Amino acid sequence: MNGKNAWKQLWLAYDKKKELGNGVYVEKVSLIGFDEENRVVKSALQELKKGVSGMLGVTAEVTEKDAEAKGLVLKKCDELPKESYSIKEEGGKLTLMAGDENGLLYGVFHLLRQISMEKKLSGMNVTCKPDNPLRMYNHWDNMDGSIERGYSGNSFFFVKNDIVIDERTRDYARLVASVGINGVVINNVNVKQAASWLISDRFFEKVAELSKIFADYGIKFFLSLNFAATIELGGLDSADPLDERVIAWWKEKMKECFAKIPNLGGFLVKADSEGRPGPFTYGRTQADGANMLAEAVRPYGGIIIWRCFVYNCKQDWRDYKTDRARAGYDNFIQMDGDYAENVILQIKNGPMDFQIREPISPLLGGLKKTNQMLEVQVAQEYTGHQIDVCYLIPMFKEVLDFHTYCKPGADTVADVISGRTMGNQNTGIAAVINTGNDANWTGNDLAAANLYGFGRLAYQTSLSAGDILDEWIPMQISTDPEVIKVIKDILLRSRETYEKYTSPLGIGWMVTPHDHYGCSVDGYEYDRWGTYHRADHLGIGVDRSDKGTGYAQQYYEPNATAYNSVESCPEELLLFFHHVPYTHVLKTGKTLIQHIYDSHFEGYDEAEGFAKAWDGLEGKVDAEVFANVKERFGRQLANARDWRDQVNTYFYRKSGIPDEKGRTIY
Ligand code: GCU
C-alpha cells in the first residue's frame, strides 16, 4: 500500500495562507450551462473549494445558478474550443468561461495557480487554449512494482502483480490534470508477464476502477500492449497481423476491452524493438501491425499509438556502415501515408535515445502524411537519475522550436505535433514520467519542476522555460523573491552544466552500461547497441555525413547541407555528425581537446556553485526539502568529479595533448 497521507501535494499544497488583498470574491460561485453532476465538473468544484479554503480561508459555495453581482461565475461557452477557457475580472466579478468540462477544470486550476503565486485576481483577462490535442504521460511501471528507469521509488499503480487504488491515485490524477495532461498510459512499454493480462478478466475490474478515477479529471486512460498477446493470452500460434485468426482475436479482444474499461482511449505499442515481438517476425511492415490493431479499436473511437523506436540492437561495433541513428527514419518513412487515421506514430525527440544532446529526429516532419506524436523523457535516465539536477524544459523547447523545413510557414516540430502542419487531430506530445512512490514523487524535489513543466509546456508551447519556473517555484517551494532567484538560476543553467561534465558535443553514451548513471567512456564502445564514439589517438566522433553513414541526408534542406560539413554543423552537435581531430579549432578559437578539458572543469565548478547556492537557502525553504536537495547535490558533485576526471584522463591518454592550463589530469 502507498500509506495514507505519506505523500506530498507538491504544487497543489493548499496549506499555506496566501495574501491577495484584491477584493475579488470567490465565495459565491454560480454555475451556468454546466451540469453540476458531471464528473469533471464535480472535480473542478471540489478542487476550487479545497483550494480557496486552504489558501484564502474562505468557503466557496455554489449558491445560485445566476451570476452574482460580485463573485465567481463559471460558464459554458460554446464559442471557445475544446479544453479552452477564459478568465476575466470586472468590478469584483470574476467570469470563467470554458469550452467544455476539461476547459472548466483547467480554468479552475489556473485560478488556483494565480492564488498560489499570490497574483492578483483583479484585472485578470486571459484566454488559454491547448496547443496540442494529446498531452500524455507514459509510465514505465511494471506490475511487480518496479519502474523501468524509475528514480523515485516504486510504482504507485502496481504492487506484487496487482493493481493498487487509493487516495494517492486520485492525487496523482489531480496533479497531472492541473497542468493540462489529458492522457495517461499506466504500464511500461515493455509488456511482459502479468502486464500482458491487463486486457483480460484477471484485471478488468480494477483497471476499470482506475480508469474511472482518471475520467473524473478529464484524462483518457491508455494501456501498453503486448503485440504477441494472441499467442500468450489467446493460445494461437501466431501474431501475424495479416493472419485472419489473429485479426479476429484482436477484434473480439478490443470489443471486450472497450466494454469493460470505461474511458479507455486506446493503446501504446512497442513492437520489433529491443526484443519485443512485432510484425517484422512475420515479414510484415510496421504499418501492417499498427493498422490491424487500429481497425480493431476503430468502432470504439480508440487510437493506436505506435512507437518508432525500432532499430537493430544486435550490431557489430566493427561495422561502420550500419547506423542506429538512421533506423527510425529508415523503418518508417517509406510507409508515410499508409497508416490508418487512428494510428499515431510516437517518435522520440532524437534519433538515438534521450541523450543530453542529440539532433532532432528527422522522422519528425520527415513524415508528411502520418499522424505524429513527440516522445520526450522527463525521467532522467541519461540525465542524472534525479540525483543530479537537470531541468529539461529548455531542451524540450529546442525540440519544439526546431525547423524541419517540411512545409513553409508551418515546419517546426511544434507545428507538426499540434496538427498545424497537416491539419490533423490525432497528434500530440508524450513524456516518459519521472514519478514513483517516494513521498515527494520525484526523488529530488527539484525534479518536480520537470513533472510540472512538461504538462504546462504541452498545453501551452509558447511558455518559456523561465515562465514555467516563475509558476512552479512560488507554488511548490517559496514565494520569497530571493529563493525564487536562486532556484531559477540553478535550474535554468542545469542542463548545460550536466552536458559540460558528461559527454562532449553531442556524442553521448559515455555512461555506465545498462544503469546509465555515471561515467564509463568505453562502456558501450565494443557492445551491440550501436552507440559508439569511435575515439582513437587522433580524434573522435561518428561520420554521419554523405561520406559516412549518410544520416545527415535524412533531413530536408537546408538542414541536410548544414549538418553535412564540419564547417556548417552546429558545434554543439559536431561529434554526432563528424569524426574530428583533437586539434580541430572550434569557433571559440579553442582546439577540440582544449574544449573537452575546459568544459569538464567548468561543468564540475558550476555544479559546485549550485551546491553552494543551495546551502545559502538553509532556513529559507522547508527543512525536508532543503535536506533532500542538499543530499542530492552531494552525490551530484561526486558524480561530476568522476565524469570530469575520467573523461579528461581518457582523452589525455588517447591524444597525449596536455591541458593548456596545466590543471590536474590523471
Ligand atoms: C531505452 C531504455 C529502455 C526502454 C527503451 C524504450 O532504451 O533504456 O529501458 O525500454 O528506451 O524507450 O523502449
CATH superfamily of 10-128: Chitobiase/beta-hexosaminidase domain 2-like (3.30.379.10)
CATH 3.90.1330.10 maps onto the chain at 500-542+579-655
Q: Whole-angstrom Cα distance, residue 397 to residue 457?
A: 8
In this predicted structure, the answer to whether residue 230 has a pLDDT above a threshold of 50 is yes
Asked whether 373 and 413 are in contact (CB, 8 A), the reply is: no
pLDDT for the residue numbered 298: 98
Collect all residues with Cβ–Cβ distance below 8 Å to 556 and sequence separation of at least 6: 365, 366, 404, 405, 406
In this predicted structure, the answer to whether residue 285 has a pLDDT above a threshold of 80 is yes
Asked whether 314 and 325 are in contact (CB, 8 A), the reply is: no
* DSSP assignment of 277-332: --GGGGT--HHHHHHHHHHHHGGGT-EEEEE-----SS--TT-SS--HHHHHHHHH
Expressed in angstroms and rounded, the spacing between residue 29 Cα and the centre of ligand 1 is 47
In this predicted structure, the answer to whether residue 311 has a pLDDT above a threshold of 60 is yes
The answer regarding whether domain 134-468 maps to CATH 3.20.20.80 reads: yes
Quickly list H helices, 60-178.
101-116, 167-178
**Type of residue at 568:** S
Q: Which atom of ligand 1 is nearest to the CA of 270?
A: 13
For cell 568505453, what's the residue? 522
For cell 490491424, what's the residue? 292
> 500-542+579-655 has which CATH code?
3.90.1330.10
In this predicted structure, the answer to whether residue 4 has a pLDDT above a threshold of 50 is no
For cell 559536431, what's the residue? 574
Asked whether 507 and 533 are in contact (CB, 8 A), the reply is: yes
Half-sphere exposure of 503 (CA within 13 A, CB side): 33
In this predicted structure, the answer to whether residue 69 has a pLDDT above a threshold of 80 is no
Q: Whole-angstrom Cα distance, residue 385 to residue 153?
A: 12
pLDDT for the residue numbered 1: 45
Q: Catalytic pick from 237, 274, 522, 615?
A: 274
Mean pLDDT of 405-415: 98
Q: Whole-angstrom Cα distance, residue 39 to residue 213?
A: 10
User: Which of 453, 319, 459 has its CA nearest to residue 394?
Assistant: 453
CATH 3.20.20.80 maps onto the chain at 134-468
User: Which of 412, 268, 286 has its CA nearest to residue 339?
Assistant: 286
| pLDDT tens figures, 629-659 | 999 999 999 999 999 999 999 999 999 999 9
Asked whether 348 and 364 are in contact (CB, 8 A), the reply is: no
User: Which of 25, 78, 64 has its CA nearest to residue 48?
Assistant: 25
Q: Whole-angstrom Cα distance, residue 659 to residue 601?
A: 11
Taking every pair of C-alpha atoms in the chain, what is the biggest distance, in angstroms? 80
Q: Which residues pair with 519 in a beta bridge?
A: 511
Which secondary-structure segment (H or E) carries 645? helix 623-655
CATH 3.30.379.10 maps onto the chain at 10-128
Q: Whole-angstrom Cα distance, residue 39 to residue 19?
A: 31
pLDDT for the residue numbered 25: 84
Cis peptide before 558 (omega within 30 of 0): yes
C-alpha triplet 261, 265, 270: angle, nearest 5°: 105
In this predicted structure, the answer to whether residue 431 has a pLDDT above a threshold of 80 is yes
Mean pLDDT of 82-90: 97
Instruction: Choose one of 187, 225, 227, 274 to mutate for the ligand 1 pocket test, by most ligand atoms within 8 angstroms of C-beta.
Output: 274
pLDDT for the residue numbered 5: 55
Q: Which residues pair with 618 in a beta bridge?
A: none
Q: Whole-angstrom Cα distance, residue 561 to residue 563?
A: 6
pLDDT for the residue numbered 660: 98
Which secondary-structure segment (H or E) carries 591? none
In this predicted structure, the answer to whether residue 158 has a pLDDT above a threshold of 70 is yes
Alpha carbon of 433 to those of 86, 270, 345: distances in Å? Answer: 29, 17, 19
Expressed in angstroms and rounded, the spacing between residue 354 Cα and the centre of ligand 1 is 9
Positive or negative torsion for Cα 235, 239, 243, 246: positive
Pairing of strands 372-377, 428-432: parallel
Coil vs helix vs strand at 97: strand
User: Which of 267, 271, 308, 266 has its CA nearest to residue 289?
Assistant: 271
Quickly list H helices, 431-531.
448-459, 465-472, 481-501
189 lines ligand 1 (CB under 6 A): yes
Expressed in angstroms and rounded, the spacing between residue 451 Cα and the centre of ligand 1 is 19
CA dihedral 333, 338, 344, 345 (to 10 degrees): -20
Q: What is the mean pLDDT of the chain?
A: 96
Coil vs helix vs strand at 476: helix
Mean pLDDT of 239-256: 98
C-alpha triplet 574, 350, 463: angle, nearest 5°: 100
Cα 191 to its chain centre, rounded Å, is 20
Per-residue cell: 57: 480561508
pLDDT for the residue numbered 376: 98
Expressed in angstroms and rounded, the spacing between residue 310 Cα and the centre of ligand 1 is 11
Positive or negative torsion for Cα 487, 625, 629, 467: negative
| pLDDT tens figures, 377-388 | 999 999 999 999
In this predicted structure, the answer to whether residue 552 has a pLDDT above a threshold of 70 is yes
Q: Which atom of ligand 1 is nearest to the CA of 273?
A: 13
Residues in the chain: 666
pLDDT for the residue numbered 82: 97
Pairing of strands 134-138, 580-581: unpaired
Asked whether 127 and 84 are in contact (CB, 8 A), the reply is: yes
Percent of the chain with pLDDT over 90: 95
| pLDDT tens figures, 564-592 | 999 999 999 999 999 999 999 999 999 99
Clarify whether 496 is annotated catalytic: no
pLDDT for the residue numbered 64: 66
Mean pLDDT of 269-285: 96
pLDDT for the residue numbered 206: 98
Clarify whether 608 is annotated catalytic: no
Coil vs helix vs strand at 163: strand
For cell 568522476, what's the residue? 642
Q: Whole-angstrom Cα distance, residue 519 to residue 525?
A: 13
User: Which of 69, 119, 126 has its CA nearest to residue 93?
Assistant: 69
User: Which of 598, 388, 608 has its CA nearest to residue 498?
Assistant: 388
Quick one: 224 exposed, middle or buried, by C-beta within 10 A (0-12, 13-18, 19+)?
buried
Q: Catalytic pick from 101, 171, 272, 353?
A: 353
Residue 287: CB atoms within 10 Å: 23
| pLDDT tens figures, 438-475 | 999 999 999 999 999 999 999 999 999 999 999 999 99
Clarify whether 353 is annotated catalytic: yes
270 lines ligand 1 (CB under 6 A): yes
Collect all residues with Cβ–Cβ distance below 8 Å to 46 and sequence separation of at least 6: none
Q: Which atom of ligand 1 is nearest to the CA of 188?
A: 10
Q: Whole-angstrom Cα distance, residue 614 to residue 611?
A: 5
CA dihedral 442, 448, 454, 460 (to 10 degrees): 150
Expressed in angstroms and rounded, the spacing between residue 147 Cα and the centre of ligand 1 is 12
In this predicted structure, the answer to whether residue 228 has a pLDDT above a threshold of 70 is yes
In this predicted structure, the answer to whether residue 3 has a pLDDT above a threshold of 60 is no
